[in-house]
Amino acid sequence: MEAIAINSEKMEKVAFILKTIGHPVRLGIISLLADTEALSVSDICDKLNIEQSLISHHLNNMKLKGILSNRREGKCILYSLKLKEVLTVVDCMAKCNM
């Protein structure tokens, strides 16, 4: 197998992203946000059929780590992808033959 050359800074960033998104619910959230500009917590709950408290926990974690951003529109908080590189990592994982 041929060695893959990746600089240490890139390895650190990819490892950080993988640690942060390494949960099925988080991957589901990212998948939804990849297809739209922003979604509310209730939209994400409805689409993933998961309770609000669990979705909020994962959204907050990814926001604190810089993966997501949010903005308020009236009573609604909308979440969107802030770190677009996460889509590259998810795309690479999707292409793996496992």
The pLDDT tens digits for 29-73 are 999 999 899 999 999 999 999 999 999 999 999 999 999 999 999
Do the domain assignments include residue 98? no
* Residue 4, φ and ψ in degrees, nearest 5: -100, 125
- Would you say residue 30 lies in a domain? yes
Q: Is residue 97 part of a domain?
A: no
Strand partners, 86: none
Residue 1 lies in a domain: no
Q: What is the rounded distance in angstroms from the CA atom of residue 72 to the CA atom of residue 56?
A: 15
Q: Which two tokens stand for residue 5?
A: 């050359």
pLDDT > 90 in the chain, percent: 59
For the entire predicted model, the pTM comes to 0.84
**Is residue 34 one of the residues assigned to a domain?**
yes
Q: Is residue 3 part of a domain?
A: no
Q: How far apart are CA 29 and CA 74, in angstroms?
A: 22
Domain that holds residue 83: 8-92
Number of domains in the chain: 1
42 within a domain of the structure (yes/no): yes
As a whole-number percent, the residues of the chain with pLDDT over 70 amount to: 94
- Rounded alpha-carbon distances, angstroms, from residue 58 to 3, 16, 51, 96: 34, 16, 11, 25
